Structure 1
Amino acid sequence: MKNSTLFAYLQLTRPANVITAIADIWAGFAIAGGWTFMISDLELGSQSFWQNLLWLSLSTIGLYAGGVAFNDIADAELDAIERPERPIPSGRASKNLATVMASGLLLFGIFAAFQVNSISGILAIAVAVCAVVYDYWGKHQRFFGPINMGLCRTGNLLLGISVAPEVLEKIWIIGILPLIYVSAITMISRGEVHGKNRKSLFFGGAMYASIFLAIGLFSYLEKPGNWEVLPFLALLGYMIFPPLVKAIQTQEPCFIGKSVKAAVISLIIVNASLATASSGWTIGFIILLLLPISLWLAKKFAVT
């Protein structure tokens, strides 16, 4: 396969976004206490939790890459009109081969999750189903669409927590945070082509603000008086609100697109904040190291 053709198929998987999905897993791992066990594994010479982190990271790579590839496959005819430069309508990628690739990625993601435990496997199946439902039906639903997309991220965070099923049973409600955040992004993104969606922009901004309050509350409940999460929230605000304000002011598709791109990449900061709230700033910083990788990839591959 020629380099240009390989690049086209890589474009379908949104590599910069895949990094944000890995951050979901790492944050879920932190909430489950997995990072603490991994340190113990090093001391005892065991590899179980390291292997689980690897399997779940591979799982989310397959699930996310396969899900977004199906998004382009489902939109091929519409993209031929609105975004003819994309891999499939431009002819740089075959729709049939892309379908085989996307299916294989989803199946691999499910397989990798089952290597951890059955709960992880079931969650991976749920994420895959949510992704395909969104690609072919959910995105066309004004109300359910954003919720559908948010459920994909909720499942992804819970997939990370599922390394410890007993913790997942107690703290599954934390999954509502990525649901709200990604629902807001999805709502705002509807103006990327035509613009003029001021109401959605304002409502999305309010949903973003609720995330700050929720993470702050989560941090307080986990460790009262701990302010380590504040620098992470400050960075999150710096990343998402200036582009959103510009989008509200102009209502132009290009600025709305930049706002969406910033919010998607900032999922890494959301995850770093959650990890800091539950396991301390060191783990949060480790997750934050994924941010420059995602930003670098975002310069080479489309995010939306």
Structure 2
Amino acid sequence: MSGLGLTIPLDSTPLARQREQLDDIEASGFTDLWSAEASGADAFTPLVAASVSHPSFRLGTAIIPAYTRSPALMTMSAAALADVAQSEVVLGIGTSSEVIVEKWNGLRFHAPYQRARDVATFVRRALTGEKVDMACESFSISGFRLDRVPQRQPKIMIAALRPGMLRLAGTVADGAIINWLSPTDVHQVTPYVLEANPQADIVARLFVVPSRDLTVVRATARRAIAAYLNVPVYAEFHRWLGRGEQLEPMWRAWQAGDRAAALTAIPDELIDELFLYGTPAEISARIKDYVDAGVTTPVLAIMPAVGEPPSSIASVAAIGRAYTGDR
């Protein structure tokens, strides 16, 4: 049976107070904590803090961009987290997007497949303490050796959308991290990973709006869909999934600079496919749909509802209790 993950940090609460939140999260049945790295907290600090206060959680990054940390630094960060942690650590690596890599970090978003492949290969070798000489398409590194080799080797996963990267996740990593998809889409995505590694872990980030107000949910979801699915990598992903005709009106309006029309063009049925909302029991049922489709680790990303107070820890914990209590 799958575990249940949660993306941290949850909200704007200072990391120094994260421990108080995690008491309730742990008691409600969550097994995993996952972090991301974009423009908020870095990925490792929240996990290190959690590992000290709540050592039972499995810890993962979803994701570290393959461009924004050097391969050696990424190795050192993952090794240090594994050295602190008393449970399993998963290093999730992904290409991220042009917005984050180029616009926010001033780097070149070039040859993403090769970059993910080369970074994952380097980190896998370097974490063992091997002296690594590696000249590849993405970089040339000579003579790096990790001085503090963790006793428990972190697993490595690759964030993947379309067939090439999905196959790579099954070939050079321990599994794939997927997001922005429905349970039905999982059936289209996972075979590319599992054909290379039938034992691969499939981690899915699931977007949750813990509200019962459908108007609020859809307003929140429309903003998120417009922000993400207009990014080229996600637009191409949804074309591949077969949503080109459904999303074309939004894309046209967005390209024309009409943001209001783009939001209006997002159909309700797409929101219902890609977002989890409602009562804890209703959200729990949707999580199970993903697991039944082949997800081994569902990870909830809590999205604050537009116009409503931030989601309380109690509401998040209620989802965990509903899910774990029904299994």
Q: TM-score, normalised by structure 1?
A: 0.30
Q: Which has the higher strand share?
A: 2
Higher relative contact order by CA 8 Å / sep ≥ 6: 1 or 2?
1
More helix per residue: 1
